[in-house]
Structures are given as structure tokens and as C-alpha cells.
Amino acid sequence: MKAALVRNLRSLLQADSNSILLTGDLGFGALDQLQIEFPKQFLNVGICEQSMMSVAAGIASTGRRCFVYSIANFPSLRCLEQVRNDVALHGFPVVIISNGAGFAYGTSGYSHHGLEDLAAVRAMPGIRVATPCDETELEGVLHAAASALGPTYVRLGSLPPQALDDFAATYEGDVTFQSVDRPQVCIVGTGFGGFLAFQVAAALENERSLRVSCWSSPYCDAISAALLHQWSDCELLVTIEEHALAGGFGSAVWEQCCALGLKPNVLPIGLSGEYRTQTGSSTYLRELHGLDPRAIAQRIDHILSPD
């Protein structure tokens, strides 16, 4: 979604000449034109993400909004202390953009696989955590982040810009959904998991004649109570994420259900707690770990029809 990201960043930099975009010597295939168009609002800090985050916090402390761009784990796990102490603690308006989450950089190996960042950043008080699925959700997330009083973490994976266009989905109130009456199964995902949610729902409806509602939720830190109550009434609630299960999106959904006294039957789909040393394309790695529509549909079918 780099093209959609650049398009939205251009709009935001034009709208606010006081904002600034920082990069850690990355993204120039996509960001070159922004550097030319906004020379006074563009800063290449170099290959030093920890310093970049502190610089962004310092600039933001003067009242300017900062957009920080890097890939995979670099703007999160590599500089987690600076995110925690310099940005989150002070509530500065820094928008941290992590591109290539999940297995997007599959051939680069485990160091470039963004699989634990949601859990780490979600633990920081005061940071909005967003994982948009397509360019519609991305535009909503970035424009909300550009007016937020505090920091936002935006996690982008390898997805087509119009990932959900083929599903006749509705984007409303920060969620994209396709709903049916009295669903047997509710599937909700974030990021690539949102795309999978719609693919799995289509498979279950077509091949197994199940009534399925599905949602893509770009925000991981605050899911509406109305949605949670709706999900609690179905036979099975499925959460999907391209991230470790521990502390990720499924954990966030379950925590909020518990806070409301809801006890849905939940099937969390994600990555189990083990190191993943394989390399390859994102498609290969996703299928290897069961993050594909057929594998997920089979797991759901087994739970609903164990015999």
C-alpha cells in the first residue's frame, strides 16, 4: 500500500506546513517525490532508528506533528525504549508508520518479520494502535492520527490497496463489515487478517452454507462495545491476525470481552509462540503457518461439526 501511503502523506503535509516526515534512510523508492515537494518538511535521519524516534519526540515537543517511517520491526522493537520514554510517556503527536509488517519481508528472514510489534506497542499507555487492511481504512487511520492529540502506531502489511473492494463491504465507524442476520460465525481480523476474514467468510458461505458475518477492524486498542455484544451472540467468534497470538489482536478482543462480562466461544487465529526460522515469500510463509482461507475454514468447520 505504499502508493496509497504516499498519496495520503502528501495530502497531510500539504494541509499542515508545520508537520514533518522523518525516515531512517528507507523508503526512497516511494518517498523521493515527497522529499522534492516538501524539502523543509522532510528529514532523513539515517540508519539510526533510536535516534530518529528521539528526534521526532523532540520536534513534536515544540508543537509540530511528526510522521516517522521505517520498515517491519525497526520503528517499534528496535527503538522500543525511545517509543516508551520519549514519545508515549509525554503523549507527543508522533505518527509511527511501520511498513512491511507480518511476513511482508519474508525472504529477508526473522529479523525482518514483524510478528510481535502489536503486543509490544499495545502495552504502551496512550498510543493508538492501527493496522489498516486497505487504502480506505489507511486514509481513515492517517487522517485521524493527523488530528490526534497523542501518538499513533500504524502497522502496514503487504496487501493490495483495494483489498476489500470485491466483497461489497461497508466502511463505517472505523470498521469494514459484511453482516447477516443471526450469524452462526462472526469473523473479525485486522490488517491482513481483515482480508482473510472476508475470504474465509465467502468460503464458508459458498462451500458449507453457513451464515457468516465478517469485519475488518483497523484499530486494536479500542473495539466498540456494540460490536463485542454482537459477536458474543454467535456460535463462534474467530479472530485473525498476521502476528503472534500472545498480546496481539485476539488478546485485545478477549480482554475487552472480559471487561464487559461477555463470554463468547473464541477461536484465535495467528502465530503460535515459537521462533520461525523459515524464509520465503509472504504467501508461502502464511500458508506454512495456517494463515490461508482454506486452512482457517477447515478449523472453523471442525469446531462447528467435530464429527
Give the span between the Cα atoms of 107 and 182, in whole angstroms: 43
Cα angle 155, 91, 70; round to 5 = 30
Query: CA-CA distances (angstroms) from residue 129 to 39, 90, 186, 204, 212?
Result: 29, 17, 22, 30, 27
- CA 243, 247, 253, 254 dihedral sign is positive
CA-wise closest residue to 263 among 275, 254, 271, 274 = 254
Residues 166-181: b if buried by 16+ CB within 10 A, e if exposed:
ebebebeebbbbbeee
Q: Which domains does the chain have, with CATH numbers?
A: 2-156 (3.40.50.970), 165-304 (3.40.50.920)
Taking each helix axis as running N to C, give the angle between helix 135-145 and helix 2-15, from 0 to 180 degrees, rounded to the nearest 10.
30
Cα angle 224, 225, 231; round to 5 = 95
The per-residue pLDDT for range 56-89, each reduced to its tens digit, is 999 999 999 999 999 989 999 999 999 999 999 9
List alpha helices for 72-179, DSSP H: 80-82, 117-122, 135-145
CA torsion 50-53-56-61 (nearest 10°) is: -110
The whole-number pLDDT of residue 307 equals 63
pTM over 0.85: yes
Q: Are 15 and 145 in contact (CB under 8 A)?
A: no
Copy the grid coordinates of residue 240: 485473525
Q: Scan for cell 490461508, then name that residue.
A: 292
Indicate the length of the chain as a whole number. 307
Mean pLDDT by 10 residues, the chain (307 residues): 91 96 85 93 94 98 96 94 97 96 93 94 95 93 96 90 78 88 94 94 89 93 84 93 96 93 94 86 94 95 82
Q: Scan for cell 502464511, then name that residue.
A: 286
The whole-number pLDDT of residue 161 equals 65
CB-side exposure of 223: number of CA atoms within 13 Å? Answer: 28
Residues 6+ apart with CB under 8 A from 166: none
In this structure, which amino acid lies at residue 192? Answer: F
The whole-number pLDDT of residue 164 equals 84
Q: Scan for cell 455484544, then name that residue.
A: 229
In this structure, which amino acid lies at residue 36? Answer: I
Strand 266-271 and strand 236-244: pairing?
parallel
- Identify the DSSP state of 40: G
Residues 6+ apart with CB under 8 A from 93: 60, 65, 66, 148, 149, 150, 151
Give the span between the Cα atoms of 87 and 39, in whole angstroms: 24
